[in-house]
């Protein structure tokens, strides 16, 4: 449906680039409200536990959990230093929580509430007017009966304020479109509602029976139902997406000038702050290293999987993982010549292009509206020439307008979209863009990113098979004590092989080097080559070593493993005649190996963000419609430039915001489900259009001939609306397969 088009264009590029976003870093004043996203609050009992835990935090005046939104709102009695104690309190009872940015809240809630109250008013009016109309229709057929006049006046008194209040969303949207010299579906809707109300009022004053108040208010009621459901489903998906982003956010350990360390949500980091980043942590903000040196994994930024060595004065980007020792950095705002600024510029131009997409319903309206208005004018002129007098001719012309008013047509697309979004939501796919499904259904080429998209984006043990069980289990005892990604990969490989890892005391972690433990036989060490005393000739051959007294050192190699169903997903797409290609910022050999494993023949390695866009442009020039699937910061411009885009929920913030849909979980198959749903949605929208046109085909000639009474109009309009809605509901449970 034709929303004014601003809903989806939230400032996607700007927000994460400038860490200077509003919000107070200091202590909160009394009476302030904080909203938390709570990840695994899924039952009534959890809701109570969450509220109880929050109320126990000193200074909290009230706490209320919202189970549908998976959020909790906390009001403070007195000043409190940030959300950290709340998050910790929930963490202690096993709930992962994060503070939500204030600007993420209330985006759609207010609009939804207003729409619902308009819907209620329209429903009340429709029911009451219908009661009066039924009495008129079934009573005496004498139009001069004073009761007819009374009932018509009563209807007018109820209908006119209702239309003025409840019809506003349609009127303002139609006006917006007309101002830009466009036509959307809301133009014929508004025209029909306004004309029918005006004419009915005129006929009421004159005392005839050609009164359509019931039809115009019922029409309004049906349309508002469609619009409300549409809006609600979208707000729910967007809220869930905001929760995901919020929960992914990092804490920054900010070092104050007196040397004390304060924990802040990373979105509150401001340029100039000094931040300590421990080994294994993600870098919370963009900035430069001021102290220490380390290796960082920048795969989320560039797609490159090999770690990069950095030292003082090197630039680092939010989202990179610190693999080496602890470092201190200073946050900086995005500068003109950095990678981030370049990405922001590319995104801006890319998004402008997408803004020009015209939605299916509006495309239908473009030829439907002139047709309807021509037909109405033709009936008026026809009846005038036949000598019916201008008043009777006008009545018939308006009846034509009312009957053609695209009630079913206006519901045809949104009803299916609501069913589709709800279906996807149940399957963990969050559809964010209102026109996303329509664009997804048109794509015929899928371009994948490698790191984090085809792969899981976290290191896993590559040479596990070559390591004997005894050594692996001994190494895992040490590894289990660390949060370092490599250590966690070792621990995970061990728990996959043995089921569980024996816990041990006395494991000591030396940040940036490794772990050690003193056993009966001597000291065991797990860590870098230097830490384990491996000689320089062998040191470069592996990323992690394990040494024990009297045994050969064990080398661990890591790789970014492909998602389990990556190859299956690519095959399914290929069978559905999708062109599939791989576009990665990683090294040539790594990309070649991944492409071979998932059966992609067309691939490019070492792509810069602007080269990815050029690649998409080249495909577009061949007349293809591109679906981009990516997660990295370097994919963000391509995601914004593609015809449609999808990203996993582990993606960089900017990429998630730029995507039409976000899928959760370790599998890649949701992409196929999404495409299948999008295509079915389009098919069902066309079916619904057919129903709506079929109805017009029958009733327009009747209306032009002057046979349509208010009773016929009311029945015909309701039936066609109910028919398209019922058809749409089938999508929720349909079994779908992606075919050519």
Partner 1 sequence: MTSLAWLIPAALFLGGLGLAGFIWALKSGQFEDLEGAAYRALEDDPPEDADKK
Residues 201-240 that bind partner 1 (CB under 8 A): none
Does residue 160 interact with partner 1 by CB under 8 A?
no
Which among 279, 345, 339, 342 has a CA at the least distance from the CA of 314?
339
Q: How far apart are CA 367 and CA 177, in angstroms?
A: 15
Residue from 24, 33, 40, 117 in contact with partner 1 (CB under 8 A)? 117
Binding pattern to partner 1, positions 260-289, x when CB under 8 A?
------------------------------
Q: Closest distance between partner 1 and the C-beta of residue 167, in Å?
A: 17
Please, what is the minimum distance in Å from the beta carbon of residue 63 to partner 1?
A: 7
Nearer to partner 1 by C-beta: 121 or 192? 121
User: Cβ closer to partner 1: 41 or 447?
Assistant: 41
449 among known catalytic residues: yes
Shortest reach from residue 45's CB to partner 1, in Å: 8
Q: How far is the CB of 80 from partner 1 (least distance, A)?
A: 15
* Residue 59 and residue 79 in contact, taking contact as beta carbons nearer than 8 Å: yes
Q: Specify the residue, 147 or 205, whose C-beta has the smaller distance to partner 1.
A: 147
Contacts from 221-225 at CB under 8 Å and sequence distance 24+? 221/119, 221/122, 221/123, 221/125, 221/126, 221/166, 222/407, 222/411, 222/717, 222/718, 222/721, 223/170, 223/189, 223/407, 223/410, 223/411, 224/115, 224/118, 224/119, 224/122, 224/166, 224/169, 225/119
Of 79, 94, 113, 386, the one binding partner 1 by CB under 8 A: 113
**CB-nearer residue toward partner 1: 55 or 377:** 55
Residues 460 and 559 sit within 8 Å (Cβ to Cβ) = yes
Quote the least distance from Cβ 48 to partner 1, whole Å: 7
Comparing CB distances to partner 1, the nearer of 48 and 538 is: 48
Q: For residue 255, list its beta bridge partners.
A: 261, 274
- 30, 93, 120, 496: which one binds partner 1 (CB under 8 A): 120
Number of Cβ within 10 Å of residue 124's Cβ equals: 15
DSSP states along 158-215 = HHHHHHHHHTHHHHHHHHHHHHTT---THHHHHHHHHHHHHHHHHHHHHT-S---HHH
What x-and-dash track marks residues 530-569 binding partner 1 by CB under 8 A? ----------------------------------------
Does residue 111 touch partner 1 according to CB under 8 A? no
Give the shortest CB-10-to-partner 1 separation in angstroms.
Answer: 22
Q: Which of residues 623-682 bind partner 1 (CB under 8 A)?
A: none
Give the closest residue to 21 by CA, choosing from 262, 234, 286: 286
Q: Nearer to partner 1 by C-beta: 63 or 376?
A: 63
Rg (CA), the chain: 31
Closest contact distance (angstroms) between CB of 152 and partner 1 is: 13
| Least separation in angstroms between CB 62 and partner 1 | 5
Contact 1, 227 (CB under 8 A): yes
Task: Name residues whose C-beta falls within 8 Å of residue 173's C-beta, 6 or more positions apart in sequence.
Answer: 2, 3, 4, 184, 186
Contact 658, 12 (CB under 8 A): yes
Smallest separation (angstroms) from partner 1 to the CB of 356 = 37
Q: Which is nearer to partner 1, 141 or 198 (CB)?
A: 141
Give the DSSP letter string of 527-565. E-HHHHT--HHHHTT-SEEEE-TTS--EEE-EEEEEPTT
H/E run at residue 1:
none
Round to whole Å and give the CA distance between 303 and 453: 10
CB of 563: closest distance to partner 1 in angstroms? Answer: 31
Backbone angles phi, psi at 327, to 5 degrees: -135, 165
Please tell me whether residue 164 binds partner 1 under the rule CB under 8 A: no
Q: Which is nearer to partner 1, 109 or 198 (CB)?
A: 109
Comparing CB distances to partner 1, the nearer of 102 and 161 is 161
Question: Considering the rule CB under 8 A, would residue 128 count as an interface residue with partner 1?
Answer: yes
Q: Which of residues 133-152 bind partner 1 (CB under 8 A)?
A: 147, 150
Within 10 angstroms of residue 522's Cβ, the number of other Cβ atoms is 10
In the complex, least distance from residue 117 CB atom to partner 1, rounded to whole angstroms: 5
Phi first, then psi: give them for residue 384, nearest 5 degrees.
-65, -45
DSSP letters for 285-335 = S-EEEEE--EEEE-HHHHS--S-EEE-TT-EE-TT-EE-SS-EEEEE-PPP
Give yes or no for a contact between 277 and 284, defined as CB atoms under 8 angstroms apart.
yes
154 binds partner 1 per the rule CB under 8 A: yes
Q: Smallest distance, Å, CB 124 to partner 1? A: 4
User: What is the CA angle 552-553-557, rounded to 5?
Assistant: 135
43 vs 530 by CB, closer to partner 1: 43
Q: Which stretch binds partner 1 (CB under 8 A): 122-130, 233-241, 390-398, 625-633?
A: 122-130
Angle subtended at Cα 188 by Cα 182 and Cα 192, rounded to the nearest 5 degrees? 150
Among 29, 30, 40, 43, binds partner 1 (CB under 8 A): 43
Q: Give the one residue of 9, 93, 127, 666 binding partner 1; rule: CB under 8 A.
A: 127
Q: Name residues contacting partner 1, limited to 46-75 (CB under 8 A).
A: 47-48, 51, 55, 61-69
CB closer to partner 1, 69 vs 544: 69
In this complex, which beta carbon is closest to partner 1, that of residue 55 or of residue 205?
Answer: 55
435, 449, 565, 653: which is the annotated catalytic residue?
449
Go through 20-57 and write b for each residue having 16 or more CB atoms within 10 A of its CB, e for each that does not: ebeeeeeebeeebebbbbbbebeeeebbebbbebbeeb
Q: Output DSSP code: residue 123.
A: H
Q: Across the strands, what pairs with 99?
A: 36
Nearer to partner 1, 159 or 661 (CB): 159
Nearest to 192 by CA among 461, 458, 403: 403
Distance CA 534, CA 514 (A): 13
Residue keyed to tokens 């997409």: 357
Among 18, 21, 57, 116, binds partner 1 (CB under 8 A): 116
Task: Give the number of residues in contact with partner 1, rule: CB under 8 A.
Answer: 30
H/E segment holding residue 64: strand 60-66
Contact call for residues 606 and 587 (beta carbons, < 8 A):
yes
Least distance to partner 1, CB of residue 24, Å: 24
- Our measurement of the distance from residue 177's CA atom to the centroid of its chain's CA atoms, rounded to an integer in Å, reads 26
Q: Which of 26, 31, 44, 549 binds partner 1 (CB under 8 A)?
A: 44
Task: List the beta bridge partners of residue 447.
Answer: 581, 628
Question: CB under 8 A: which stretch of 25-33, 93-101, 124-132, 599-607 binds partner 1?
Answer: 124-132
Give the binding range for partner 1 (CB under 8 A) out of 45-53, 373-381, 400-408, 412-420: 45-53
Distance CA(425)–CA(431), nearest Å, equals 8
Kindly list the catalytic residues.
449
Under the rule (CB under 8 A), what is the footprint of partner 1? Answer: 43-45, 47-48, 51, 55, 61-69, 109, 113, 116-117, 120-121, 124, 127-128, 131, 147, 150, 154, 158
């Amino acid at each position: 449906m034709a929303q004014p088009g601003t809903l989806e264009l939230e400032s996607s590029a700007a927000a994460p680039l400038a860490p200077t976003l509003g919000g107070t870093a200091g202590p909160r004043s009394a009476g302030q409200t904080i909203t938390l996203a709570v990840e695994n609050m899924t039952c009534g009992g959890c809701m109570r536990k969450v509220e109880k835990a929050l109320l126990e935090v000193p200074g909290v005046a009230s706490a209320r959990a919202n189970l549908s939104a998976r959020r909790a709102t906390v009001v403070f009695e007195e000043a409190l230093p940030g959300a950290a104690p709340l998050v910790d309190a929930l963490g202690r009872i096993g709930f992962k929580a994060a503070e939500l940015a204030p600007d993420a809240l209330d985006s759609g809630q207010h609009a939804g509430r207003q729409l619902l109250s308009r819907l209620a008013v329209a429903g009340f009016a429709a029911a009451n007017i219908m009661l009066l109309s039924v009495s008129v229709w079934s009573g005496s057929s004498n139009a001069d009966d004073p009761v007819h006049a009374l009932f018509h006046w009563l209807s007018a008194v109820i209908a006119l304020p209702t239309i003025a209040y409840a019809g506003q969303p349609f009127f303002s949207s139609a006006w917006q479109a007309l101002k830009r010299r466009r036509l959307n579906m809301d133009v014929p809707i508004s025209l029909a509602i306004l004309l029918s109300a005006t004419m009915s009022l005129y006929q009421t004053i004159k005392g005839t029976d050609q009164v359509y108040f019931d039809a115009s208010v019922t029409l309004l009621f049906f349309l508002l139902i469609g619009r409300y459901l549409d809006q609600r489903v979208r707000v729910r998906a967007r809220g869930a997406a905001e929760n995901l982003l919020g929960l992914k956010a990092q804490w920054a350990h900010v070092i104050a000038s007196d040397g004390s360390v304060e924990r802040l949500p990373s979105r509150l980091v401001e340029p100039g702050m000094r931040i300590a980043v421990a080994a294994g942590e993600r870098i919370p903000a963009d900035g430069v290293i001021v102290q220490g040196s380390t290796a960082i994994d920048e795969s989320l930024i560039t797609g490159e999987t090999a770690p990069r060595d950095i030292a003082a004065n090197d630039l680092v980007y939010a989202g990179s993982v610190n693999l080496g020792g602890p470092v201190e950095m200073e946050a900086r705002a995005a500068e003109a010549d950095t990678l981030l600024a370049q990405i922001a510029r590319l995104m801006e131009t890319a998004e402008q292009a997408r803004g020009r997409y015209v939605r299916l319903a509006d495309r239908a309206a473009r030829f439907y509206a002139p047709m309807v208005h021509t037909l109405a004018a033709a009936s008026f002129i026809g009846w005038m020439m036949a000598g019916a007098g201008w008043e009777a001719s006008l009545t018939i012309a308006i009846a034509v307008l009312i009957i053609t008013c695209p009630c079913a047509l206006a519901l045809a697309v949104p009803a299916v979209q609501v069913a589709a979004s709800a279906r996807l939501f149940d399957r963990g796919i969050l559809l964010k863009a209102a026109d996303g499904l329509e664009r997804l259904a048109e794509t015929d080429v899928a371009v994948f990113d490698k790191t984090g998209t085809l792969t899981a984006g976290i290191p896993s043990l590559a040479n596990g098979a070559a390591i004997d069980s005894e050594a692996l289990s001994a190494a895992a005892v040490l590894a289990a004590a660390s949060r370092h990604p490599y250590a966690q990969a070792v621990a995970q490989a061990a728990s996959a092989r043995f089921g569980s890892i024996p816990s041990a005391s006395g494991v000591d972690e030396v940040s940036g080097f490794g772990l050690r433990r003193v056993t009966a036989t001597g000291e065991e060490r797990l860590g870098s080559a230097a830490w384990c005393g491996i000689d320089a000739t062998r040191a470069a051959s592996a990323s992690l070593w394990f040494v024990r007294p009297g045994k050969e050192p064990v080398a661990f190699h890591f790789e970014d493993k492909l998602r389990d169903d990556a190859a299956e997903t690519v095959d399914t797409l290929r069978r559905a005649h999708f062109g599939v290609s791989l576009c990665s910022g990683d090294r040539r050999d790594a990309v070649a190996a991944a492409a071979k494993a998932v059966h992609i023949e067309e691939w490019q390695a070492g792509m810069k963000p602007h080269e990815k866009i050029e690649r998409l442009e080249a495909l577009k020039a061949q007349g293809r419609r591109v679906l981009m699937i990516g997660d990295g910061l370097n994919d963000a411009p391509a995601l914004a430039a593609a015809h449609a885009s999808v990203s996993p929920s582990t993606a960089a913030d900017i990429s998630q915001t730029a995507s039409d849909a976000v899928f959760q979980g370790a599998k890649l198959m949701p992409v196929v489900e999404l495409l299948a749903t999008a295509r079915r949605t389009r098919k069902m929208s066309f079916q619904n259009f057919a129903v709506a046109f079929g109805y017009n085909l029958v009733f327009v000639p009747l209306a032009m001939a002057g046979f349509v009474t208010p009773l016929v109009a009311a029945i015909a309009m309701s039936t066609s609306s109910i028919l398209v809605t019922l058809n749409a509901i089938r999508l929720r449970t349909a079994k779908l397969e992606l075919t050519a």
